[in-house]
């Protein structure tokens, strides 16, 4: 019998991340509403900056992404030295797990939290602990009750993916106050640009004023998903630790240039937010009262809970929508088999989704 290289024990316990589907069946025009991408494309200024980077492909990118860090610091009134740029926020989350977790440690994740959190926890040979949600909302009391002597990280996506619900500022502060100072609170604010709630807090203040909080953000939801660009803000000792493990040229030149340009194109981001608010509210209202539960969303998607009825299941609804080229995200991988997550798209896409779901649920689409 041959002896094979053996991965760390936690790796073998990982359930592979399953991304949203990209396509409808062959021959059907696809409207992709499965990955929470920008329905308006990318900022024209970011596209131009990306193209201009082609003249310098033989040159290594700036190892510290200094221009982008300075642009982020100016926009959010932060200290640039406390910002790290990553190849997507996923890279930064992976780095945090590798640095602060190990065998015997635990990381707390909300019951319906982002699937990447348990993956990176197990990848560091640690154990994910799932805190029960309260009606699909992150429950601070449940998280605090899950803390043990082995807890090293609490991962919080706020707003939550895939439910779209959020913790308000007071609850966020209460969560932090209830954690030991040696527990790292990771606030993943991937959808912050789309939040309209007056009592929302992206986590900047906690990351600025405490030594055990880090905020992670992304450019993916505002038009740059293909470039894999994210950023992290935290105190000096966290930044120092992450930089020790971060690859020296981890973010490519084109991504850095496009990120700077996207930050400067406030008009484009505003258009995205206006489109999202309008059609998120419209679609939620259209589907209410149709035996469907629409979770209150502060993100760029809504989550629809279907009845416990095999004739009107989320799986069947997903199949029907797919026949019309409407690709949504069935949430069985999130232990929500009776739910679909629908990214907010264009007017045409939202009207089409509402029409087909109303027909599926047995209601006249012209009502």
Residue range 104-134, pLDDT digits in tens = 999 999 999 999 999 999 999 999 999 999 9
pLDDT at residue 75, as a whole number: 97
Domain boundary among 203, 235, 265: 265
Where would I find the beta strands (DSSP E) of the chain? Answer: 31-32, 83-86, 106-110, 127-131, 151-157, 184-188, 213-218, 230-234, 293-294, 301-305, 326-327, 329-330, 339-343
Mean pLDDT score of the chain, rounded to an integer? Answer: 94
Helical spans, DSSP H, in 125-214: 140-146, 169-177, 204-209
User: Reduced to 3 DSSP states, what percent helix, strand and coil does the chain have, rounded to the nearest 5?
Assistant: 45, 15, 40
Domain boundary among 265, 286, 307: 265
Q: What is the mean pLDDT of residues 8-18?
A: 76
pLDDT, one tens digit per residue, over 135-184 is 999 999 999 999 999 999 999 999 999 999 999 999 999 999 999 999 99
pLDDT, one tens digit per residue, over 88-106 is 999 999 999 999 999 999 9
pLDDT at 367 over 60: no
pLDDT at residue 4, as a whole number: 78
Domains: count for the chain: 2
Give CA 279 to chain center in angstroms. 20
pLDDT at residue 17, as a whole number: 67
Polymer length of the chain: 367
Distance CA 88, CA 2 (A): 38
Q: Are residues 272 and 187 in the same domain?
A: no
16 versus 186: the higher-pLDDT residue is 186
Domain boundary among 250, 265, 280: 265
Question: Is the backbone of residue 361 left (phi > 0), alpha (psi -120 to 50) or beta?
Answer: alpha
pLDDT, one tens digit per residue, over 279-293 is 999 999 999 988 999
* CB atoms near residue 247 (< 10 Å): 11
Q: Are residues 140 and 158 in the same domain?
A: yes
pLDDT at 299 over 80: yes
pLDDT at 26 over 80: no
**Confidence category of residue 366, pLDDT binned at 50, 70, 90:** very low
Q: Which domain holds residue 90?
A: 44-265
pLDDT, one tens digit per residue, over 316-350 is 999 999 999 999 999 999 999 999 999 999 999 99
DSSP letter assigned to residue 251: S
Q: Is 110 helix (H, G, I), strand (E, B) or coil?
A: strand
Q: Is residue 3 part of a domain?
A: no
Cα→Cα distances 299→62, 73, 253, Å: 32, 24, 29
Q: Is residue 365 part of a domain?
A: no
- Specify which residues 132 forms β-bridges with: none
Q: Are residues 277 and 327 in the same domain?
A: yes
Q: What is the mean pLDDT of residues 265-281?
A: 98
Q: Is 143 helix (H, G, I), strand (E, B) or coil?
A: helix
Q: Are residues 170 and 200 in the same domain?
A: yes
pLDDT at 55 over 50: yes
Distance CA 190, CA 117 (A): 14
Q: Is residue 120 part of a domain?
A: yes
Q: Are residues 36 and 55 in the same domain?
A: no
Among candidate residues 352, 310, 294, 308, the one with its CA nearest the CA of residue 327: 352
Q: Is residue 8 part of a domain?
A: no
Q: Are residues 200 and 74 in the same domain?
A: yes
CATH code, domain carrying 27: 3.90.1150.10
Distance CA 217, CA 202 (A): 9
Q: Are residues 289 and 215 in the same domain?
A: no
pLDDT at 6 over 80: no
Q: Are residues 78 and 181 in the same domain?
A: yes
pLDDT at residue 2, as a whole number: 73
Q: Are residues 339 and 203 in the same domain?
A: no
């Amino acid at each position: 019998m041959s002896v094979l290289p053996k991965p760390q024990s936690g790796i073998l316990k990982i359930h592979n991340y399953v991304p949203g589907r990209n396509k409808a069946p062959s021959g059907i025009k696809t409207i992709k509403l499965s990955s929470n991408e920008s329905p308006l494309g990318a900022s024209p200024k970011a596209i131009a900056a990306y193209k201009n980077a082609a003249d310098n492909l033989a040159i290594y990118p700036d190892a510290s992404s200094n221009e982008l860090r300075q642009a982020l610091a100016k926009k959010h009134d932060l200290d640039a030295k406390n910002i790290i740029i990553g190849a997507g926020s996923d890279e930064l989350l992976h780095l945090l797990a590798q640095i602060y977790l190990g065998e015997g440690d635990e990381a707390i994740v909300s019951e319906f939290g982002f699937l990447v959190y348990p993956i990176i926890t197990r990848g560091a040979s640690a154990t994910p602990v799932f805190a029960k949600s309260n009606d699909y909302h992150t429950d601070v009391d449940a998280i605090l009750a899950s803390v043990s002597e082995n807890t090293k990280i609490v991962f919080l996506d706020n707003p939550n993916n895939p439910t779209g619900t959020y913790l308000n500022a007071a609850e966020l502060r209460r969560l932090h106050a209830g954690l030991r100072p040696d527990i790292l609170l990771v606030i993943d604010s991937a959808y912050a640009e789309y939040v309209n709630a007056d009592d929302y807090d992206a986590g900047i203040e906690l990351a600025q004023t405490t030594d055990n909080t880090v905020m992670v953000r992304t450019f993916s939801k505002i038009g740059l998903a293909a470039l894999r660009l994210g950023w992290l803000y935290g105190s000096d000792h966290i930044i120092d630790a992450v930089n020790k493990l971060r690859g020296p040229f981890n973010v490519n030149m084109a991504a850095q240039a496009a990120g700077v340009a996207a930050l400067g194109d406030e008009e484009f981001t505003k258009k995205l937010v206006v489109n999202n608010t309008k059609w998120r509210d419209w679609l939620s209202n259209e589907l209410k009262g149709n035996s469907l539960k629409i979770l209150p969303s502060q993100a760029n998607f809504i989550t629809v809970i279907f009845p416990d009825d095999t004739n009107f299941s989320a799986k069947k609804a997903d199949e029907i929508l797919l026949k019309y080229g409407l690709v949504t995200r069935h949430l069985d991988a999130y232990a929500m088999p009776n739910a679909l997550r629908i990214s907010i798209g264009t007017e045409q896409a939202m009207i089409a989704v509402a029409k087909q779901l109303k027909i599926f649920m047995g209601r006249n689409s012209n009502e």
